[in-house]
Copies of this chain bind each other. A is one copy, B any other.
Amino acid sequence: MKQETQTREKLQQTAKEEFMEKGYAAASLRNICRKANVTTGALYFFFKDKEDLFGSLVDEPLKKIYEFMKTHYEVEIKELKTAATKNHDSKEDTEAAVMALNYMFEHHDEFTLLLTKSAGSRYENCTDRFVEISEAHYRVLADEMSERCQTEKIDDYTIHWISHLQILSFVQLITHDISKEEALKHINTIVKFLINGWFGIYK
C-alpha cells in the first residue's frame, strides 16, 4: 500500500517541479518521468494524459476555491436582501478575502500553477472563470444598489471590468513573490481602493 502510491506521488512531485519551471505547454513528460526514475508507461498507468497529470495537482484546490466563492457570494446576497441599510460594510468583504487568501497561501504552488503556468492546458482560462463568477455576483449587487439609490444601471462591461480588477488584485497577492503577512497587510488597501473606486462611479 505504500509502494503503490509512492510512484504516483513521486511523479506528481517531479511534475510540479517541471510545470513550475517551464509551464504546462513546454513541460516534457519524458523529463518528468526521468526525474522520477520511472518509465513513461508508468505515468500512463496513473494518469490519463498530460492534462490529467496537471489536473491531479490543481483540481482540488481549484474546486475548493470555487466553492468558497460561491458560498461567500450567496451569503452576501442574502444579507444584502435582508439588510435595511444601504451602506456597504467592508468588514465582511475583508474577512472573506482573508479567508480565501489563507487557503491560497496554504496551496501556494498549486495556485501558482493555475494562475501563471497553465497556458496550453484546459485550465489556462481559469482566471476568466473566477472573473465570471465574480461578475455574476456584482451584477446582482449593482442592480440592487441602482434600485435603492435610484441611479442608472451599470452596464455589463463595467461590471466585468471591475470584477476583473478585483480578481487580479487577489491573484497578484499570490503570484508576486510576497509573504503571507505582507499579502494580508495589503488586503485592506485593496478593499478600500476598490470600494472607493466603485462608489466613485455613482457620483
Contact = CB atoms under 8 A, between A and B. Distances in A.
A129 interface: no
A162 B203 CA distance: 21
A37 interface: no
Contact of A197 (B23, B119, B200): B200
Contacts of A126: none
B193 A197 contact: yes
Say whether chain A's binding surface is mostly helix, strand, loop, or mixed: helix
A187 to B, nearest CB: 11
Interface residues of A, number: 32
Contacts of A157: 176, 178, 182, 186
A164 interface: yes
Contacts of A178: 157
A161 interface: yes
B201 A158 contact: no
A164 B158 contact: no
Interface in A166-203: 168-169, 172, 176, 178, 182, 186, 189-190, 192-201, 203
A97 B195 CA distance: 23
A42 interface: no
10 tightest A-B CB contacts, nearest first: A196-B200, A197-B197, A193-B197, A196-B196, A192-B200, A196-B197, A165-B165, A119-B119, A193-B200, A158-B189
29 contacts: A23-B119, A25-B25, A25-B26, A26-B120, A119-B119, A157-B176, A157-B182, A157-B186, A158-B186, A160-B176, A161-B169, A161-B172, A161-B186, A161-B190, A165-B165, A165-B168, A165-B169, A168-B168, A189-B201, A192-B201, A192-B203, A193-B198, A193-B200, A193-B201, A194-B197, A196-B197, A196-B199, A196-B201, A197-B197
